[in-house]
Chain A
Amino acid sequence: MPEPRSAPRWIPILAIASLLALASLFAGPERVLRVARGVISEYGARDLPGAALLSLWRMGAAYIASLAFAWVVGYAAATRPRAARIILPLLDVGQSVPVLGFFPAALALFVGLLGGSPFALELASIFLIFTSQVWNLAFGVYEGLSTIPAETRAAADSLGVRGVLRWRTLEIPACMISLVYNSILSWSNGWYFLIACEIIVAGRAQHDLLGLGSVLSQALARGDTLVALAALGTLVAIVVTMELVVWRPLRAWSERFTYDTARRDDEAPGDLPRLPDFGLPSVLRPMRSLWRALTSRLPLAEANRTATSIGQGLGRVWRITRWPLAVALVLTSLGSVWSLVLSLLPPWPREAAEIPLALFLSFLRINAAYVLALAWIVPVALWVSDHPRMLRPLTLVAQVGASLPATAFFPVLVALLVHRIGGMEIISILLALTGMQWYLLFNLLAGVQRVPQDLRESLRSLGLPRREIHRRLVLPACMPSLVTGSVVAWGGTWNALILSEYVVFRQRTYEVVGVGALLNRATFETADRTLLLLSVAALVITVVTFNRVVWKRVYDHVCTRYRLEVS
């Protein structure tokens, strides 16, 4: 979530530079080629159960790593203003850097450290999924911790609540709602990119890890519809099962962590059809009693004291080591920048000339998708504002829609539409739309929900027609959520664009002129490091610049102008 923040301007620039530098350091195609020598196994229908398990394991491992990372980083940002000035812009950049840009770097890093074993490839894949899950979780922790009311924080302080007790009773519960919400988003995001993350491409060599994503994309590339459908079915089944067994009960459970003590009458539970919450409670109950039994045996007070002293010790170590660390960091980044400059030196490949045009076309495509998304989402949100009973069902639609990995359907869409009107050009816009619309809908529905009932009633009692109420109350009140959703959706769509400008189906490649296609070609076809770096750089710079120059201003303006005073 964008926050009003005053960060040094050089931080995003430094971050981009060092990311690119890292990529260039490790992305030597020759070196990677040696490691993974074109290992493509053919996966068929009988691999599906194993593939499902492996994909689930990868997603789970990446998610746990994301949670740990998000907690540490978000905690640091929320508790230390000085750290926040550095961390928040970094997270922002991380969120807008396309996952695909990390691929060669991640692979070479893990392979370089651990050798070309399956273990290293597995880790690389998990890391890639991690990069698609972690950012919004970290923002979620930050948001949860920094929205603890000042008096609640003061109350915990005045009671002397510290250490583990403070985590357990104040800080983790305070993050619970935004953590659950963002976990759902992260998993959707992970599934969305899973397809790309299980195909490890190293220069001209490719290594497909067994998993749902690789089975699916291989089957589609071969034209094996049956296997593709089976894989797709498995994927959808897993997503739906997780929604029912994990997320829905978790969401219901997390509602107890709201500060809002006054209950709104129209939100009374039970007046809407609900799917049964099976699964999780019966799993959780024994775990809870186990936890109780453990905590009553454990010397909690001592653990608390130890943790506090460890924290203090770490703080001391950090104070001593931060300057050497900073020097080392600066030296490394200087070295990286040097190697970056070296690898960016001309002669540039011929395709490099395409980059400005490709970038421009991609930019147009994104905005087209954005306008299309708004064109159906804003009327829907306004309609929902008049029919509050539809809010829950529609939120459910948005949730399910967001958690189905649209990437899996890309080839199908291509097959259906490619020879119709508009061809690939229209398709890529539609595909980009799939990555964008749910998030916008999500946020706008949340905004509609927050329109105060008494304001609406006062306008109604003044005799304003529905259309005027929309224009004067609902739309302005939704503005902050709309802009928040737009920033994230717009940034995220660059990621989706990379997958949607270049689709392989039945051994044919369909592509349009765009920076996403360029990136893909550099990764999958030519293994051209310079081209890859140039296009990633162009992409990231565009996204970050646009975010800082346009969205941030719009956001600040909207927030000061349209904020509803909450007493």
Chain B
Amino acid sequence: MLELRGVDKVFTDRKRVVPALAQIDLAVPERQFLCIVGPSGSGKSTLLRIMMGLTPPSGGQVLYQGQPLSGVNLRSAMVFQSFALLPWLTVQSNVELGLLARNMTPEAAGRRAAFYLDKVGLGGYEEAYPRELSGGMKQRAGLARALAVEPDLLLMDEPFAGLDALTSANLREEVLSLWADHALPVDTVVMVTHIIEEAVLMADRVVVLSAHPGRVVADLPVTLERPRSKRDEGFDELVDSIFERIV
């Protein structure tokens, strides 16, 4: 569904050229839950932004459904580490934002937003402002906002990094059940994380990036049976083998 061919990215910082990503070849098939892991400085988030069309690659090609991507891909949606909710809009209006941008009528947008807020467990908080919510609830709102545009591809940039352990465990489960729910349109997910256990718990496939610049150093399928837990047989071995490739 999404294909990266020889993608490079360089940044210029005060006339110094800093390579961030080098020669990334990656294909994301439909219905896959893909996790990208790597140390800090490996350009994971940059890679995700290139997939979204937020930043153009410096070299190479990004194909979506076989077509080269130009500009933001409105068939996909993104969840951010800092939640990135607009503090001056209510939760409901935040979720409606992407729908209004797609020229949906206010009534239809309201109905759709309410549906997805209910799905992520925020029913009853429609009129709350982000500052009144806990971190976990803010990320639920961020998730609802991304789901509400009914994207084919969901991109998540360290979505649980700003949350405490218990909240993030809960939210992980919830994301997995939303992904598994075939009544919902989203069934392809790319998630960036720096926690290897998280990747192994959630993903069908883990791609490992190296740092300075980011290159794909490993591409491993995760075949453990779902639902998974950290006590599953083979879990630790897989985590260890990924960890070795990063170090």
Contacts and interface: CB of A to CB of B under 8 A. Distances in A.
Contact of A151 (B81, B101, B131): B81
Contacts of B130: 261
A158 interface: yes
A283 interface: no
B97 A159 contact: yes
A383 interface: no
A57 interface: no
Interface string B63-86: 000000000101011101110111
B103 A154 contact: no
A169 B97 contact: yes
A249 B119 CA distance: 38
B82 A157 contact: no
Contacts of A176: 88
Interface residues of B, number: 31
B27 interface: no
A144 to B, nearest CB: 12
A161 interface: yes
A162 interface: yes
B77 A159 contact: yes
A482 B130 CA distance: 33
Given A154-B80, A158-B77, A257 B98 contact: no
A351 B45 CA distance: 66
B101 A162 contact: yes
A155 B80 contact: yes
B169 interface: no
Nearest to A158: B78
A257 B103 CA distance: 26
A158 B75 CA distance: 10
B108 interface: no
Contact of A257 (B78, B88, B97, B149): B88
Interface string A151-190: 1101111111110010001100100100000000000000
A169 B86 contact: yes
B112 interface: no
Contact of A256 (B80, B87, B102): B87
B230 to A, nearest CB: 29
A253 to B, nearest CB: 10
A165 B81 CA distance: 24
A165 B88 contact: no
Contacts of B74: 160
B122 interface: no
15 contacts: A151-B84, A154-B49, A154-B80, A155-B78, A155-B84, A157-B72, A158-B54, A158-B76, A160-B72, A160-B101, A160-B102, A162-B101, A176-B88, A256-B88, A261-B131
Interface of A: 149, 151-152, 154-162, 165, 169-170, 173, 176, 256-259, 261, 263, 296, 301, 304
Given A154-B78, A155-B78, A156-B86, 13 more contacts: A154-B54, A158-B72, A158-B78, A159-B145, A160-B101, A161-B100, A162-B101, A169-B89, A170-B86, A257-B87, A258-B87, A261-B131, A261-B138
